């Protein structure tokens, strides 16, 4: 019995199981989702001089309100309208959530603890994150509803305007460190973090992360006051929970990538603490969580941009800035002879 238990625990701590299932995988994603939605409502309430969720477990400020919401969503009847394309309608939430969650397997937790190491892991990760928007567009089409269609098209417009500059900003860091391997990139930031070496790339990537995950002021594809819930209009119950969760999961994954690219990943922990995956993992998670918290704080401050304003930011500002970031990286590499 004892042997079996210790075997199971050692199995759990194997990277190929720990990373997809615990951190940064499913378990932490689930807890993060519940926490961040509560935090979003609480922050928005605080800025607007209200209390926010309060009565579900009052001593901690209603922190399990989202659990109650989840239970409500689970027991709600999922309504499938008659005129939708059934297969696409039912499969897209699962594909969206799955594709948002999939890139976590590439993310390393410490220099020696990773499920999957490749020379091209950054490229692989960015590629996986770009698949999800296709399903948002498909969802808008499958729902057979004008609001869904408009929401899906808006997502399509946004994707083409944020994707290229975001890739360029991320790849400028690969140029700077001479590697596409996330472990190498994080290890190269032992001394000085990427954000301070190349702040242009850092700021443009941060803005584009919020743009790609539909945070304010870029909450255009699901503009509540204009097109009900955008591509998600026809969804109800737990399917709505999945599609809403998908954008938060995407934000979480991109924040982890941002933490590795620009905020030094698990640095500045000393090398002696790297044996156990928990400490570097906690460090990485803390950095990503702060980024997510900033993202949800923006909701309380900004109104929504028009679609053309957001596209202007993508093409006319972020694209030149990210090209500039590549040249900054090239300049640093030329001067110092590589990091």
Residues near another protein (CB under 8 A) are: 43, 46-51, 297, 300-302, 317
Residues paired with 202 in a beta bridge: none
**Residue whose structure tokens are 């194997």:** 14
Shortest spacing between CB 294 and another protein, in angstroms? 9
Contact 256, 186 (CB under 8 A): no
Shortest spacing between CB 48 and another protein, in angstroms? 8
Shortest spacing between CB 220 and another protein, in angstroms? 18
Please tell me the number of Cα atoms within 13 Å of 306 on its side-chain side. Answer: 3
Q: Cβ-count burial of 101 within 10 angstroms (0-12 exposed, 13-18 middle, 19+ buried)?
A: buried
Nearer to another protein, 21 or 301 (CB): 301
Residue of 166, 165, 175 lying closest to 198 (CA atoms):
175
In sign, the C-alpha dihedral spanning 155, 158, 160, 164 is negative
> Under 8 Å CB-to-CB from 218, ≥6 apart: which residues?
158, 210, 211, 304, 305, 310
How far apart CA 192 and CA 152 sit, in angstroms, is: 41
Residues paired with 113 in a beta bridge: 110
Percent composition of the chain: helix, strand, coil (DSSP 3-state, to 5): 70, 0, 25
Nearer to another protein, 45 or 124 (CB): 45
Shortest spacing between CB 214 and another protein, in angstroms? 19
Residues paired with 110 in a beta bridge: 113
Nearer to another protein, 46 or 86 (CB): 46
* CB neighbourhood size of 323 (10 A): 16
Shortest spacing between CB 51 and another protein, in angstroms? 5
Nearer to another protein, 208 or 244 (CB): 208
Shortest spacing between CB 38 and another protein, in angstroms? 15
Nearer to another protein, 223 or 313 (CB): 313
Nearer to another protein, 198 or 204 (CB): 204
Nearer to another protein, 204 or 247 (CB): 204
Q: Phi/psi at 184 (nearest 5 deg)?
A: -60, -45
Shortest spacing between CB 252 and another protein, in angstroms? 22
């Amino acid at each position: 019995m004892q042997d079996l238990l210790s075997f199971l625990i050692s199995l759990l701590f194997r990277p190929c199981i720990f990373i997809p299932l615990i951190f940064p995988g499913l378990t932490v994603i689930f807890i993060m989702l519940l926490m961040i939605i509560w935090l979003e409502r609480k922050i928005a309430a605080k800025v607007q001089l209200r209390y926010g969720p309060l009565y579900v477990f009052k001593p901690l400020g209603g922190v399990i309100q989202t659990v109650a919401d989840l239970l409500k969503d689970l027991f709600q009847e999922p309504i499938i309208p008659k005129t939708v394309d059934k297969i696409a309608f039912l499969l897209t939430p699962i594909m969206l959530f799955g594709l948002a969650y999939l890139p976590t397997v590439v993310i390393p937790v410490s220099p020696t603890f990773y499920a999957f190491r490749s020379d091209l892991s950054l490229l692989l990760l960015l590629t996986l994150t770009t698949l999800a928007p296709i399903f948002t567009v498909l969802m808008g089409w499958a729902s057979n509803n004008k609001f869904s269609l408009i929401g899906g098209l808006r997502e399509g417009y946004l994707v083409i305007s944020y994707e290229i500059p975001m890739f360029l900003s991320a790849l400028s860091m690969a140029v700077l460190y001479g590697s596409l391997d996330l472990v190498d990139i994080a290890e190269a930031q032992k001394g000085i973090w990427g954000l301070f070496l190349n702040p242009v790339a850092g700021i443009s990537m941060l803005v584009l992360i919020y743009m790609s995950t539909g945070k304010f002021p870029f909450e255009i594809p699901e503009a509540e006051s204009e097109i009900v819930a955008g591509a998600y209009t026809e969804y109800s119950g737990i399917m709505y929970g999945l599609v809403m969760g998908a954008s938060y999961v995407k934000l979480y994954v991109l924040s982890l990538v941002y933490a590795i690219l620009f905020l030094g990943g698990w640095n500045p922990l000393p090398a002696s603490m790297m044996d156990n995956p928990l400490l570097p993992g906690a460090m990485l998670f803390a950095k990503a969580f702060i980024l997510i918290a900033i993202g949800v704080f923006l909701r309380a401050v900004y109104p929504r941009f028009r679609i053309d304003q957001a596209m202007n930011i993508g093409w006319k500002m972020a694209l030149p800035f990210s090209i500039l970031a590549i040249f900054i990286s090239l300049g640093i590499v030329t001067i110092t002879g590589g990091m």
